[in-house]
Structure 1
Amino acid sequence: MNRRILRRTWAIPFLLTAIGATATGAPPAPSDPASAAPMAAQRDGSHDFDWEIGTWATSVKVLRNPLSPKATWVEFNGTSVIHALAGGRANLVDLDVNGPAGRVRGVSLRLYNVEGRQWSLNFANMGDGLLTPPSVGEFKNGRGEFYGTDTLRGRAILVRFVILDVTPDSARFEQSYSADGGKTWEVNWIATDRRLPAKP
């Protein structure tokens, strides 16, 4: 099993940030509050993961040896338990799945950045106990997209993690790699979750 793939999950990202600056050589003129256009209200996404709190049956497909001619899919089944932390501005995923290729146990700590209004997804495979670089992003129209960077076989790559098809009782998670700067993507992790009834 490719340990790099297993260390990243939704449960896993290159932060696309545009930084602009202008220089005129003279200090800017004072703005007129009466004529200034109102700033667009920024969306508070601190509760975007509230729907996921609870226990889920999880089916996972993992692409071994991604971005290579030797890539093959393996499958796992088990559970994901999501715990709310800090009033919803953080949560912890406990993943435990098994299959013919072995067992995968991992944890993902999701943290909400209040100022940036984005989430970071921080995953560790308990096979080695190491955190991967975080995936950073946000939800728009019910779809979460998170991006980051990593290395694969010594080569820098981009990582995209997407949460889609979200309902109160189901969701899909996909992770993809790109070795050409985001021109093309190869999916290497697909997880489908279905909510399990709460224990009495």
Structure 2
Amino acid sequence: MNDFDFFEGEWISANRKLRKRLAGSDDWDEFEGTSRSWRIFDGGVSVDEITFPTTGTRGLTVRLYDPATELWSIYWISSLDPKMDTKPLVGSFEGNRGVFYADDEHEGTPVRCRFIWTVHGPDACRWEQAFSVDGEQTWETNWTMEFTRA
């Protein structure tokens, strides 16, 4: 239940986000973010708030660990529409890599969403988001964050 302990503290993120998703685009926005993460309930809950100064937006992630299933549920809240996701991404870590999935939609299109967390050490990690519209045969990575400890 301590899988996200590595993320506790202050971070700087280099973000790459596709401008148009599911369109075969290779046109990326690049921007910086700053993040603060903390643990609750001895690591069974992980929370972080991220700020994107150039876009004027913020996000909040809440991660909940279920000891019965040994799975994490990840919820996202955006300052653009401050409502908690109703469909969390669910998954787990194996070693330094965590993979999480949810069924969702993007602009009316049903998608399978995937988050991958990769821990590179105590001061570096990576998060990425990808969508699949063909039953997980192919994935379009549409947002990455390279984190370095502040």
- With structure 2 as the length reference, what TM-score do the two structures score? 0.94
**1:145-184 map, 5 Å:** 145-184=99-138
In the alignment, structure 1 residue 137 sits paired with structure 2 residue 76: no
Q: What is the RMSD of the two structures over their aligned residues, measured on CA atoms?
A: 1.3
In the alignment, structure 1 residue 122 sits paired with structure 2 residue 122: no
The CA deviation at 1:97 is: 1.3
Greater strand share, 1 or 2? Answer: 2
- Higher relative contact order by CA 8 Å / sep ≥ 6: 1 or 2? 1
Letter in 1 for 2:141: V
The CA deviation at 1:149 is: 1.1
Larger radius of gyration: 1
Specify the alignment match of 2:60 in structure 1: 107
How many residue pairs were aligned? 149
In the alignment, structure 1 residue 57 sits paired with structure 2 residue 12: yes
Q: Deviations over 1:135-191 (max 9, x none)?
A: 100000210000011111212110010011431000011110001010000000100
Secondary structure of the equivalent of 1:131? coil
Contact in 1 for aligned 2:18/2:25 (Cα 8 Å):
no
Structure 1 unpaired stretches of 5+ = 1-45
In the alignment, structure 1 residue 93 sits paired with structure 2 residue 36: no
Contact in 2 for aligned 1:81/1:95 (Cα 8 Å):
yes
Letter in 1 for 2:46: N
Structure 2 unpaired stretches of 5+ = none
Contact in 2 for aligned 1:106/1:126 (Cα 8 Å):
yes
